[in-house]
Amino acid sequence: MGRFLTFKLTGIFTAAACLALFAGQSVQSQSNQGGLPTFSAAPAAQILPPPPNYHFPDGQTYVYAVEWHMFTAGTAKVMLQAQGAEQHVTATAVSSGFVNALYKVNDHFEASFDPHKFCSLRVSKHSEEGGRARQVELRFDYSRGKSVEDEKNLKTGETKHVENDVPGCVTDVVSGFYYLSSLPLQQGSSYVFPINDGGKTTEVSVRVEGHEQVRVPAGTFQTLRVRAEPTSGALKGKGTVWTWYTSDGNHMTVQMRSKLGWGTLLFRLLRVEKP
């Protein structure tokens, strides 16, 4: 039961995913600016670059309450910041209350990506979950078409090195929802994109289902409900995530619900901390 609050929190993207993937981006308007294509059926899996007038929400921290079976399970935070020629994401998850007594979680993830192409560059994951602790360093070597992962068990000192094939551009589990919120997200539009967490690359299918008013601790928002699920790889058919993005140009993530075989996780926006 304890594994529900590992940074499998998003469930569908990877077996060790963090859902510090929750923050919104800023764009000038909700329309399809910059010539980004939309798709109505079976689009090819690809990472689309942001439009020229895209603005990243640098310095803003999004804080989420995590709920499981009506229990408060913990808190997740995510922040994006420019770092030289790259964008850098920092995400944390900490368990609390009843869940903390069952299965303590204290995780810290970081990721860097190319702001012009949205291709992931590196991911660093420090996870303390139950009695386990590990450090994972992942980089994407596009010149060789490989993801390169080095993992260390911080309890035993055991190390592992793994390489897997990747296409010419992927996103990762930490940066993935920043990527999604950069898209036009018009009702009825669909996208398919590749995501990699060091293992086999998974294709994720996304569809904008409709408009919905959502109330969370941070307030009441007019949103677009987006459904995402893996369509290839080991996670195919094993989970679905619904995300509610504000329907204004910011596309801020105010709520997320992940439905998995062992239950449902709910993420609700508590507050936005600005610099």
**Length, in residues, of the chain:** 275
Give the residue from 11, 78, 26, 6 showing the smallest Cα distance to 263.
11
- List all residues 6 or more positions away from 102 whose beta carbon is below 8 Å from its beta carbon: 1, 2
Helix or strand or coil: residue 67? Answer: strand
- List all residues 6 or more positions away from 263 whose beta carbon is below 8 Å from its beta carbon: 4, 68, 69
- List all residues 6 or more positions away from 101 whose beta carbon is below 8 Å from its beta carbon: none
d(CA 155, CA 130): 12
DSSP 114-157: -TTT--EEEEEEEEEETTEEEEEEEEEETTTTEEEEEEEETTT-
**pTM across the whole model:** 0.81
Query: What is the mean pLDDT for each group of 10 consecutive residues in the chain (275 residues)?
Result: 34 30 29 35 78 87 87 88 96 81 84 96 92 94 97 96 96 88 90 90 93 97 94 74 91 87 81 89
Task: Give the pLDDT score at 15.
Answer: 29
Which structure tokens are listed for 129?
């979950």
d(CA 256, CA 135): 27
Task: Measure the CA angle with vertex 267, ends 266 and 272; round to 5°.
Answer: 165
DSSP 193-250: EEE-SSSS-EEEEEEEEEEEEEEETTEEEEEEEEEEEE-SSTTTTSEEEEEEEESSTT
Spell 95-106 as b/e; 16+ CB within 10 A means b: bbeebbeebbbe
The single-letter DSSP state of residue 35 is G
Report the Cα 1 to chain-centroid distance in Å. Answer: 22
d(CA 169, CA 102): 39
Task: Measure the CA angle with vertex 99, ends 102 and 242; round to 5°.
Answer: 130
Task: Give the pLDDT score at 110.
Answer: 95
Give the residue from 191, 149, 144 showing the smallest Cα distance to 168.
144
- List all residues 6 or more positions away from 219 whose beta carbon is below 8 Å from its beta carbon: none
d(CA 262, CA 241): 14
What is the C-alpha R_g of the chain? 17
